[in-house]
Structure 1
């Protein structure tokens, strides 16, 4: 199963190829995507992305995870969260969201087992 391409990104709006709904923030993995609702885990810009935000995507058999920190990189990614991902044997890349989407799409296009979580504002 391939990772779906992110078809478009603008402030507060993301579209994933093959998905009828659009997202503000989203999670993607080989074969699927869904909204990333920060309220599920109590995430905020600081302290940032929690391991609980990533567990669902990590369970999808990915080799690499791309994290988009927002347009202005306001979303923090603590070292403890990066350590959590690496302990699962998954490579992680943290980038400004536009760069993160470009990197994710490049990897997905190459057939990599890549997942991502993307914040589309701040």
Structure 2
């Protein structure tokens, strides 16, 4: 399965090609996507403690061989070293960017046929 293109990104709004709904924050993987509520794993409105391994497990289980994390338009969402270590221990490459750059890299890799997944925060 191929990774879906992220068709558009603006503050607080993301659209994934082939998906009828839009997202504020989203998870994407080879063959699908869904809304991502990073508060599910205890990250609060001040963006701490940040992206947790539990935020990424679903994407990794869906077959991503490369994971891209978008920290927000102003890079406010934290990504602890322990989270990066978790991904690397699964044998998956991980890259962290400001969200616009993360989406560009994700789309580039998806277009090349990579089994890429990602989690993207579309506001601060």
TM-score (norm 2): 0.97
Q: CA deviation at 1:39?
A: 3.0
- Whole-angstrom distance in 1 between the partners of 2:41 and 2:52: 8
* Other-structure match for 1:85: 87
Unaligned runs of 5+ in 1: none
Deviations 1:5-37 (A, max 9, x none): 000000000000000000000000000000001
Over aligned residues, Cα RMSD in angstroms?
0.6
Deviations 1:32-58 (A, max 9, x none): 000001232122311100000000001
* Other-structure match for 1:4: 4
Q: CA deviation at 1:103?
A: 0.1
- Whole-angstrom distance in 2 between the partners of 1:46 and 1:18: 32
SS at match of 1:121: coil
Return structure 1 stretches of 4+ with deviation > 3 angstroms: none
Q: 1:1-122 alignment to 2 at 5 Å? A: 1-44=1-44, 45-122=47-124
Unaligned runs of 5+ in 2: none
Deviations 1:67-122 (A, max 9, x none): 00000000000000000000000000000000000000000000000000000000
Aligned length: 122
SS at match of 1:46: coil
TM-score (norm 1): 0.98
